[in-house]
Structure 1
Amino acid sequence: MRFVALLHAVNLGQTRKVSMAELRTLLGTLGLTGVQTYIQSGNALFDADPDPNLGQNLEAALGTHFGFAIPVTLRTAEDWRQAARHCPAHLLTEPVSVAFLARGPRPDAVATLQARDVTPERWALIGAQVYQTVPEGTRNLRLSQAALTRVLGVPCTVRNWRTVQAIAGRL
């Protein structure tokens, strides 16, 4: 089965450096096949047998190899294709990013998020993805990755729409 692994918060400064060549090699040593990476932000594509512990196993191997914890969000290729097709059209009038949640949030957490005024940003939760507009750039987001994680109570990692589409094209 084909998977996409999103590594959280790597290559964002002087620390938490992860070489994509080194990542590809490591994933290969774990028995994953067809390994590819896309840009330096920690996106890996690979084939593996379905395993409910795959994400945890990846996190353990990454932490051991790189020397720091690296949370991983996994999607199957089909889940990714669905995410790449289901951004609401009304959001695509502006730059969009997608927060990939580790799991679906609780309804009460979604209600709390809905009550927040994040204008001029707009967002939609579909499955375990939050699609959001980025009208003033990612540095000025009111609904940042940290805010989403805190309010929804679910870890997430964010990719811009161009990256989402590019990865979909590689599956």
Structure 2
Amino acid sequence: MQYIALLRGINVGGKRPVKMSVLKTAYEAAGFTNVQTYINSGNVLFEAPETGLTTLAATCDQIMVETFGFSVNIAVVTADQLIQAVADAPTWWGNMPDVKHNLIVAIAPKTGAELSVHVGAIKPAYEKVAVNGPFIFWSAPVKTFGRTRWSTVAKGDLYQWLTIRNANTARKLVALAQALREA
């Protein structure tokens, strides 16, 4: 089965450095197959026997501890989940210039709905949000980004339970997953 691990908080501002080539090798050494990484923000596509997502996240974190000496929160989703979520994304997400389009992914045990409730009601004049399972589609104009409810999430305890990818990265991960299937 094909999975995608989204590592939170690596290679940011020189903190928690992780070389993608080393990460790929570590995943292969752990027995995962068809391992592929994408950009330095910690995106790993891999295949493994069908396993619970919580178990896989724990295994992926153990790889981080053994290889890099630190633990990270990791969202693990099936490739099918991401492919379907992006296919079902709201029409306003990812297509307008001068707008930030992010895919926020809940890290278990949190859910997208829980995160959304915790952040509170959005400010419709400044942002759009749609929840689909562990995925939260969020768009906000660059000019008014700082006025949104979701822009404040990085300042609270909730931040550790999510990882963010922009629309381009989310779509590229979908394309890579689909290409691996066709190979």
- Aligned with 1:55: secondary structure? helix
Deviation at 1:162, TM superposition (A): 0.4
Q: 1:48 to 1:41 in 2, by over 3 A?
A: same
Do residues 104 (structure 1) and 111 (structure 2) align?
yes
Report the counterpart of residue 73 of structure 2 in structure 1. Answer: 71
Letter in 1 for 2:154: A
Deviation at 1:104, TM superposition (A): 2.2
Residue in structure 2 matching 1:122, options 124, 128, 132: 128
The normalised TM-score by structure 1 is: 0.85
Gaps of 5+ in 1: none
Deviation at 1:147, TM superposition (A): 5.8
Report the counterpart of residue 180 of structure 2 in structure 1. Answer: none
Q: Distance in 1 between matches of 2:73 and 2:123?
A: 29
Contact 2:112 2:135 (8 Å CA) reproduced: no
Contact 1:104 1:127 (8 Å CA) reproduced: yes
Q: Distance in 1 between matches of 2:154 and 2:35?
A: 29
Contact 1:59 1:71 (8 Å CA) reproduced: yes
Q: Distance in 1 between matches of 2:134 and 2:60?
A: 20
Deviation at 1:110, TM superposition (A): 4.0
Do residues 33 (structure 1) and 33 (structure 2) align?
yes
Letter in 2 for 1:4: I
Do residues 61 (structure 1) and 66 (structure 2) align?
no
Runs (4+) off by over 6 Å? none
Q: 1:149 to 1:157 in 2, by over 3 A?
A: farther
Contact 1:149 1:156 (8 Å CA) reproduced: no
- Give the 5 Å matches for 1:35-54: 35-52=35-52, 53-54=55-56
- Aligned with 1:90: secondary structure? coil
User: Deviation digits for residues 43-64 of structure 1, max 9, x if unmatched?
Assistant: 0001001222111111122122
Report the counterpart of residue 20 of structure 1 in structure 2. Answer: 20
Do residues 146 (structure 1) and 154 (structure 2) align?
yes
Report the counterpart of residue 156 of structure 1 in structure 2. Answer: 162
Deviation at 1:149, TM superposition (A): 6.3
User: Deviation digits for residues 77-133 of structure 1, max 9, x if unmatched?
Assistant: 1001012112211334344110011242566x6445443537412211122111111
Q: Distance in 2 between matches of 1:121 and 1:32?
A: 39
- Aligned with 1:97: secondary structure? strand
- Aligned with 1:120: secondary structure? coil
RMSD of aligned C-alpha atoms? Answer: 2.6
Q: Distance in 2 between matches of 1:62 and 1:88?
A: 34
